[in-house]
């Protein structure tokens, strides 16, 4: 149905069908960085990639990211399906890359889940599904990372960073800025994710300090 109206949806589904089921990770560690826009993910992921001679991947993966703006304008279920499919396509790339070098990922499943939950549930943090709800569980059929790091900064600092970067706001970024309740729901959803849970990292200090903290966590949790 969707492919008939959005030709790009057909291309996404074709790529998804080519992905083997139950991807297996290679011997190198897989580290995911999560967080709201302007928390420093781009800078940190690039620095970690360079330090570890790793491979940097992003969600949605490069092979479908050119269609992101098309799906961002679609109704929520179609938009979320695009991002979910992107995670499974990305899993194929992770499986291959992790046989060659450490893999650093800028967003993965937790982002898709956190934004979906925060969008579907109105109101305050207390209105989110209970902590034990299965919406916070990692999908059984999706390749799991070794470590997930959630970068956080003070809300005012994050907005200032975003303005300094001079980037055009995404719909979600505009919503985050205008609606503090939405931002709180996204961040709390991240914190409730399990199996694997997010390890929170304060990204307010200097780039060098944040990089040092991140590298120590990777060393502690991953076999390097």
Of residues 40 and 171, the one with the higher pLDDT is 40
Instruction: Give domain status of residue 207, yes or no.
Output: yes
Report the C-alpha gap between 7 and 3 in whole angstroms.
Answer: 5
Which CATH number covers residue 133? 3.40.50.300
Is residue 74 within 8 Å of residue 6, measured between CB atoms? yes
The verdict on residue 181 lying in a domain is yes
Ranges of H-type helices in 41-198: 41-52, 62-65, 68-72, 76-97, 109-120, 155-165, 171-178, 180-192
For residue 154, tell me if it sits in a domain: yes
Q: Record the tokens describing residue 63, joined without a space.
A: 């092979």
Q: Work out whether the CA dihedral 74, 188, 144, 32 comes out positive or negative.
A: positive
Q: For residue 116, what pLDDT is reported?
A: 92
| Full residue range of the structural domain in which residue 125 is found | 2-219
Q: Quote the number of domains for the chain.
A: 1
Residue 224 is assigned to a structural domain of this protein:
no
Please check whether residue 191 lies inside any domain of the structure: yes
pLDDT digits (tens, 9 = 90+) for 143-199: 999 999 999 987 666 566 556 655 565 666 666 655 788 888 999 999 999 999 999
Q: What is the mean pLDDT of the chain?
A: 88
Q: 92 pLDDT exceeds 90?
A: yes
Give the closest residue to 176 by CA, choosing from 103, 135, 143, 189. Answer: 189
Rounded CA-CA distance 54/30 in Å is 10
Dist. CA 116–CA 135, nearest whole Å: 10
Query: Is residue 95, in this structure, part of any structural domain at all?
Result: yes
Residue, of 7 and 38, whose pLDDT is higher:
7
Q: Regarding predicted confidence, which is higher, 174 or 74?
A: 74
Helix axes 171-178, 180-192, angle to 10 degrees: 110
- List, in order, residues 6 or more apart from 189 with CB less than 8 Å away: 113, 114, 115, 117, 118, 128, 136
- CA 14, CA 87: separation in Å to the nearest integer? 14
Q: Could you tell me if residue 209 is inside a domain? A: yes
The pLDDT of 54-77, averaged and rounded, is 93
Largest CA distance in the chain: 50
Residue 156: inside a domain: yes
């Amino acid at each position: 149905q969707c492919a008939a109206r959005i030709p790009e949806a057909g291309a996404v589904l074709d790529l998804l069908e080519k992905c083997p089921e139950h991807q297996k990770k290679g011997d190198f560690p897989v580290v995911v960085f999560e967080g709201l826009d302007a928390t420093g993910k781009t800078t940190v992921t690039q620095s970690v990639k360079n330090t570890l001679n790793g491979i940097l991947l992003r969600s949605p993966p490069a092979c479908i990211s050119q269609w992101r703006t098309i799906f961002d304008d679609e109704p929520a279920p179609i938009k979320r399906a695009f991002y979910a499919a992107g995670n499974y396509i990305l899993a194929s790339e992770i499986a291959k890359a992790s046989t060659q070098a450490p893999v650093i990922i800028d967003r993965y499943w937790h982002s898709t889940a956190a934004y979906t939950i925060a969008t579907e549930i109105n109101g305050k943090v207390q209105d989110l599904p209970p902590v034990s709800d299965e919406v916070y569980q990692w999908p059984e059929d999706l390749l799991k990372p070794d470590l997930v790091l959630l970068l956080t900064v003070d809300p005012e600092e994050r907005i200032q960073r975003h303005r300094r970067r001079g980037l055009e706001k995404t719909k979600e970024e505009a919503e985050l800025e205008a609606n503090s309740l939405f931002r709180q729901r996204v961040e709390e959803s991240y914190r409730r994710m399990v199996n694997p849970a997010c390890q929170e990292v304060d990204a307010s200090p200097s780039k060098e300090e944040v990089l040092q903290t991140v590298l120590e966590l990777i060393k502690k949790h991953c076999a390097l």
